[in-house]
């Protein structure tokens, strides 16, 4: 680094003159009278957009890391750190709504009409975040027949459409899972052993129901039928064809190989080499969960602010937002992996040779030296 750089002034570095002159309330411009809370409304939205920018910065760098065919361990740590940063930002995004809610619905009415047809629905950065995470266009719930980007400027539409074409974080993580070497266990059929353990566990559950003296015959039948249904869903993880049918029908998204790899990572999370992959998968689930929490929280705030009125962007408002909260999720299959987990005591033991490969080399060298 060069030693002599010109002295920097705080305000110039942050371009504060520019940044702080970007709050121009419409109430003042149109009516010559400032609606006091409009300043808060603008600043809260601007703060969101700045955080969206930061999330995109992190997302792009993590996608770059996962785009390579081989990811070294250092980069996995970096990717995990950046994804965890996203979750911390998301928590702030949820909390920020509390500040906005200090504005009462009547105060909002002082300037709401000036905003039409602008709405957070037109946040192109929010759409970029959704697409870069991996929300599929055909998964979107629309509130009218036009595309979700139809209300954006042509320049913003171009950005959003281009992001649909790029490999999303979801796509890249799926490919990475498919490449994991852990699935090939020499001389040990993990999946057959695991299947047997699962069948024993379900048999055990069946016996508990059958032998439960407090259940009437009808109740027993109902519970056994439920158990058969969940056993069948569970066993699909051992049947590639069935899995692929579920994918075609839209009930699953993750490929068969990626599902098996993710499951193995979850089951053997205690093995040192799987710590970071496990943390990574958990963080993706958390990102999904936090966006869903934000969506629900935003929908709740919207109901409080405008009741059942339509939004300034023209949607059914609160109702539309509730629907997107439930359906605009990306990593659902990773969340649902818990369906397939067994208690550690019921897992088939891994052959020692394989376990050694999952450990830290230094630890085992030490153990060998001792023996
Ligand atoms: C008084 C406060 C707010 C109200 C009443 C409100 C209302 C709405 C409504 C009704 C919609 C549905 C589209 C429409 O018809 O306009 C919407 C969408 C949206 N709003 Fe807000 N909003 C508020 C604050 C915020 C804030 C602070 C953000 C932060 C950026 C935000 C971001 C969004 C986003 C991203 C969408 C699109 C959601 C989707 O399509 O799934 N909103 N908002």
Taken as a whole, the chain contains a residue count of 371
Q: What is the pLDDT of residue 371?
A: 42
Q: Distance between CA 120 and CA 152 in Å, rounded?
A: 11
Which amino acid residue places its CA nearest to atom 34 of ligand 1?
120
Atom of ligand 1 lying closest to residue 302 CA: 5
Best residue among 92, 94, 121 to mutate for probing ligand 1's pocket (most ligand atoms within 8 Å of CB) is 121
Q: Nearest-CA neighbor of 243 among 232, 231, 255, 229?
A: 255
Q: What is the pLDDT of residue 77?
A: 94
How far does Cα 240 stand from its chain's mean position? 25
The angle, 0 to 180 degrees and rounded to 10, between the axes of the packed helices 154-165 and 124-133 is 10
Residue in this structure with the two tokens 């999330």, named with its chain if needed: 55
Q: What is the pLDDT of residue 317?
A: 85
Q: Are 87 and 283 in contact (CB under 8 A)?
A: yes
CATH number at residue 262: 1.20.58.480
Q: Does some domain include residue 141? A: yes
The rounded Å distance from CA 364 to ligand 1 centre is: 54
The rounded Å distance from CA 119 to ligand 1 centre is: 6
Residue in this structure with the two tokens 């508990």, named with its chain if needed: 208
Q: Does some domain include residue 2? A: no
The rounded Å distance from CA 170 to ligand 1 centre is: 25
Best residue among 89, 298, 325 to mutate for probing ligand 1's pocket (most ligand atoms within 8 Å of CB) is 298
pLDDT in tens for each of the 371 residues of the chain?
Answer: 667 899 999 999 999 999 999 999 999 999 999 999 999 999 999 999 999 999 999 999 999 999 988 888 789 999 999 999 999 999 999 999 999 999 999 999 999 999 999 999 999 999 999 999 999 999 999 888 899 999 999 999 999 999 999 999 999 999 999 998 766 666 667 788 888 888 888 898 999 999 999 998 899 999 999 999 888 778 888 899 999 998 999 989 999 999 999 998 999 898 888 999 999 999 999 999 999 999 999 999 999 999 988 888 888 888 899 999 999 999 999 999 988 888 888 888 877 777 777 776 555 455 554 44
Q: Does some domain include residue 170? A: yes
Q: Does some domain include residue 280? A: yes
Q: Does some domain include residue 4? A: no
The rounded Å distance from CA 321 to ligand 1 centre is: 8
Q: Does some domain include residue 116? A: yes
Beta-carbon count within 10 A of 287 CB: 22
H-assigned helices in 180-274: 190-210, 217-235, 240-248, 256-267
Q: Are 345 and 298 in contact (CB under 8 A)?
A: no
Number of folded domains that form the chain: 1
pLDDT one-digit tens code per residue, 58-98: 999 999 999 988 888 789 999 999 999 999 999 999 999 99
Q: Does some domain include residue 221? A: yes
Q: What is the pLDDT of residue 329?
A: 97
By residue range, what is the domain housing residue 319?
A: 16-370
Q: In the structure, which protein residues have their CB atom closer than 6 angstroms to any atom of ligand 1? A: 44-45, 48, 100, 108, 119-121, 123, 126, 298, 302, 305-306, 311-315, 317, 320-321, 324
Q: Does some domain include residue 43? A: yes
Q: What is the pLDDT of residue 24?
A: 98
Q: What is the pLDDT of residue 362?
A: 54
The rounded Å distance from CA 171 to ligand 1 centre is: 28
Q: What is the pLDDT of residue 201?
A: 85
């Amino acid at each position: 680094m060069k030693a002599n750089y010109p002295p920097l002034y705080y305000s110039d570095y942050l371009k504060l003159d520019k940044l702080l002159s970007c709050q121009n309330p419409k109430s003042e411009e149109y009516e010559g009278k400032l609606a006091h809370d409009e300043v808060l409304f603008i600043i809260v939205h601007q703060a969101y957009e700045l955080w969206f920018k930061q999330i995109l910065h992190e997302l792009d760098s993590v996608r770059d890391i996962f785009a390579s065919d081989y990811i070294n361990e250092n980069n996995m740590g970096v990717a995990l750190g950046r994804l965890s940063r996203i979750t911390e930002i998301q928590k702030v995004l949820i909390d920020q709504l509390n500040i906005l809610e200090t504005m009462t619905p009547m105060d909002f009415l002082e300037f709401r009409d000036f905003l039409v047809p602008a709405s957070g629905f037109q946040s192109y950065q929010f759409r970029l975040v959704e697409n870069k995470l991996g929300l599929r266009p055909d998964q979107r719930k629309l509130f009218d027949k036009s595309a979700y980007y139809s209300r954006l400027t042509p320049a913003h539409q171009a950005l959003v459409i281009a992001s649909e074409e790029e490999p999303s974080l979801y796509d890249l993580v799926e490919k990475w899972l498919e490449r994991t070497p852990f699935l090939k266990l020499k001389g040990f059929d993990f999946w057959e052993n695991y299947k047997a353990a699962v069948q024993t566990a379900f048999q055990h559950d069946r016996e508990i129901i059958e032998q439960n003296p407090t259940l009437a015959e009808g109740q027993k039948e109902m519970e056994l039928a439920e158990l058969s249904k969940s056993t069948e869903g569970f066993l699909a993880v051992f049947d590639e064809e069935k899995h692929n049918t579920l994918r075609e029908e839209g009930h699953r998204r993750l490929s068969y190989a990626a599902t098996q790899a993710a499951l193995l990572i979850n089951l053997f999370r205690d093995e040192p080499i799987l710590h970071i992959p496990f943390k990574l998968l958990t963080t993706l689930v958390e990102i999904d969960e936090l966006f869903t929490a934000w969506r629900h929280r935003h929908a709740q705030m919207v109901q409080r602010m405008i009741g059942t009125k339509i939004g300034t962007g023209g949607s059914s408002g609160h109702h539309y937002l509730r629907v997107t909260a439930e359906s605009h999720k990306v990593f659902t299959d990773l969340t649902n992996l818990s369906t397939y987990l067994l208690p550690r005591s019921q897992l088939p033991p891994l052959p020692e040779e394989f376990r050694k490969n999952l450990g830290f080399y230094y630890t085992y060298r030490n153990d060998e030296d001792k023996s």
